[in-house]
Structure 1
Amino acid sequence: MERVVLGFDGSAASEAALEWTAERARTERFELDIVLVTNMFISDRAAADRILDAASRRWRDLAPDVPATAVRLDGLMPATLTEVARGAALLVLGIEPGFRMRSAVSAWMPLRAAARSGAPTVLVPTGWSASDDPVTVGLDDDNSSAQALLFAARAASFAGVPLRILHSWLMGSSLLRGHASALPSTQRVAAEHEQILDAAVAEVARQYPRLPVVTELVRDNPTSALTRAADRSSMVVIGTHGRGIAVGGLVGSIGLDLVGSLHRTICVVPPTRVLA
């Protein structure tokens, strides 16, 4: 059975993450670890245990048939949590959206968690509620979103909602190697990106033949395109290039741009995770 790790600290965001995980338990079977990481030197361990007890009771109310273990660990974030999540099918965290300057700093923790754990990391915003909108996945030009595509298809299939594959493009050099034209036409570049989208649809159809799939090909940058699609999505799924979270790594990337600004659930899927 798959293992899901839920990072919990008693905040409103972590409560939303717990509710999102319980909703997932309606259609998927897994074992849950509810983990609270405390500082071994300054933590109030009695208060931490009360937080975990409340989380366990809430989980039993929402998903009584899904086994859950609550554990408090002394350590540092995100290293302690990501070590626990290593090998898990999913890591779920809450996040407070809407405050870009603050979120730009707090986004380091969940994005570090996604990179270090190697597990798909779901970021659930405060105020989350269930939706039957499609799961939207951002499709990149390269192979960095291949695992994100399969994760999104699986999530949509289990949730009983359509999958939206969104691919954005801007004018630039042709994707066709060795093409003689120095200035590719808009029509040809658009056609090349349409082929990328068609290949993704074919891959999803091969593995999830009954899953309804809608596509969007837009001329825009990925962050803007995904931001507009988010309000019509139950979840936004993105891949990473696997460069880590060092200075110059994911700073300014799509992930960091979206985390903290969207009021929708986001899932960051590392490229090395095998999901199929």
Structure 2
Amino acid sequence: MERVVLGFDGSPASEAALEWTAERARAESFELDIVLVTNMFLSDRVAADRILDAASRHWRDLVPGLPANVVRLDGLMPTTLTEAARGAALLVLGIETGFRMRSALSGWLPLRAAARSGAPTVLVPAGWMASDDPVTVGLDEDASSASALLFAARAAAAADVPLRILHSWLMGSSVLRGHASALPSTQRVAAEHERILDAAVAEVRREYPGLGVVTELVRDNPTSALSRAADRSSMVVIGTHGRGVVVGGFIGSIGLDLVGSLNRTICVVPPARVLV
């Protein structure tokens, strides 16, 4: 059975993350670890135990048939949490939208955890509510979104909602041919990106033949396109290039622009080669 790790600190954002995880558990069974990272002061431990006890009771109320392992770990964030998530199928964290620096778990640290965990990391905004909108995945031109595509398809199938594959494109710069500057044909460039989108649809239908799939080919930058689609999505899934553990290098500019600004759940999926 797959293991899911939920980072919890008692904040409204982490409560939303717990409720999102419970919603997923109604569709897919998994082993859940609810993890709270504390320092080594005794007073902090006492407060932490109260927080975890409340989390355990809330989980039992939401999903009576699926027990959860409640774990308190002494250490530093995000290293201790990401070590706890090593080998997990999913790491789930809450995040405060608009305030990425606000707190250790609900602020900037979820981005660092996403960069270091090596597992798909779901960032759930405070105030999350379940919806039957499609799962939207951003499709890149290269292989960086391949794992994100299949993760999003599986998530959509489990939630019984459609999958929206969104691919955006912009015209490239002119190409020098001899002494003349030749602009690529808009129709030709659009057709090339249409083929990228068609190939992604074919891959999803091979793996999930009964899944409803809708596509959007948008002439825009990816951040703007995904931001507009977010309001019509139950979750936005993006891939990464896996370039080290520095947040900006791993998640990329699109992820940095989206995380903390959208009032929708975002999942950051690393490429398959770094999954553990």
TM-score by length of structure 1 reads 0.92
For 1:92, the equivalent position in structure 2 comes to 92
Partner of 1:124: 124
- The alignment of Structure 1 onto Structure 2 pairs a total of residues equal to 270
- 1:38-187 counterparts in 2 under 5 A? 38-41=38-41, 44-99=44-99, 108-172=108-172, 182-187=182-187
Displacement of 1:108 after TM fit?
Answer: 4.1
- DSSP-derived class of the 1:158 partner: helix
Taking the aligned partners of 1:194 and 1:181, their CA distance within structure 2 comes to 25
Closer/same/farther in 2, CA of residues 252 and 148 from structure 1, 3 Å limit: closer
C-alpha displacement at 1:67, in angstroms?
2.0
1:83-121 C-alpha deviation (Å, 9 max, x unpaired): 110110100000000346759x97642222222221100
Q: Deviations over 1:205-238 (max 9, x none)?
A: 0000000000000000000000000000000000
Aligned amino acid, residue 11 of structure 1: S
Task: Give CA deviations for 1:17-38 in whole Å, capped at 9, x if unaligned.
Answer: 0000000011100010000001
Counterpart amino acid of residue 25 in structure 2: A
Q: Residues 169-201 of structure 1, C-alpha deviation per residue, up to 9 Å, x if partnerless?
A: 011059xxxxx9842111111110001000000
Asked whether the 8 Å contact 1:119–1:273 carries over to 2, the reply is no
In 1, Cα distance between equivalents of 2:70 and 2:130: 24
User: Which runs of 5 or more residues in structure 1 are unaligned?
Assistant: 175-179
Give the drift of 1:39.
Answer: 1.6
Contact preservation (8 Å) 1:37, 1:74 = yes
**Cα distance, 1:273 vs structure 2:** 6.0
Q: Are residue 3 (structure 1) and residue 7 (structure 2) matched?
A: no
Is 1:147–1:273's contact at 8 Å kept on the other side of the alignment? no
CA 1:138 to 1:198, structure 2 compared with 1: closer, same or farther past 3 Å? same
Letter paired with 2:202: A
1:120·1:273 contact (CA, 8 Å) conserved in 2?
Answer: no
Q: For the Cα contact (< 8 Å) 2:145–2:239, is it kept in 1?
A: yes
Q: How far does residue 246 in structure 1 lie from its aligned partner after superposition? A: 2.4
**Structure 2 Cα separation of the partners of residues 152 and 247 of structure 1:** 22
Tell me if the contact between 1:98 and 1:263 (Cα under 8 Å) persists in the aligned partners: no
CA change 1:152–1:69 in 2 (3 A) is: same
In the TM superposition, what are the counterparts of 1:186-265 in structure 2 within 5 Å?
186-246=186-246, 249-250=249-250, 253-265=253-265
**Structure-2 change in CA distance of 1:273 and 1:34 (3 Å):** farther
CA shift in 2, pair 1:160/1:240, >3 Å: same
Q: Whole-Å Cα distance in 2 between the matches of residues 61 and 97 of structure 1? A: 27
Gaps of 5+ in 2: 175-179
Alignment RMSD? 2.3
Aligned partner of 2:185: which letter?
S
Identity of aligned residues (%): 86
SS at 1:32 equivalent: strand
Query: What secondary structure is seen at the aligned counterpart in 1 of 2:123?
Result: strand
SS of the residue corresponding to residue 268 of structure 2 reads strand
User: SS at the partner of 2:244?
Assistant: coil
With structure 2 as the length reference, what TM-score do the two structures score?
0.92
SS of the aligned residue for 1:249 comes to: helix
Q: Deviations over 1:142-195 (max 9, x none)?
A: 000000000000000000000000000011059xxxxx9842111111110001
Q: Structure 1 pair 38/97, CA: closer, same or farther in 2 (3 Å)?
A: same
For the 8 Å contact 1:112–1:244, the answer to whether it is kept is: no
Q: Distance between the aligned counterparts of 2:41 and 2:12, measured in 1?
A: 25
Checking the alignment, whether the CA contact within 8 Å between 1:22 and 1:62 is kept in structure 2 is yes
Contact 2:115 2:246 in 1 (8 A): no
- The CA distance in 1 between the partners of 2:142 and 2:252, in whole Å, is 18
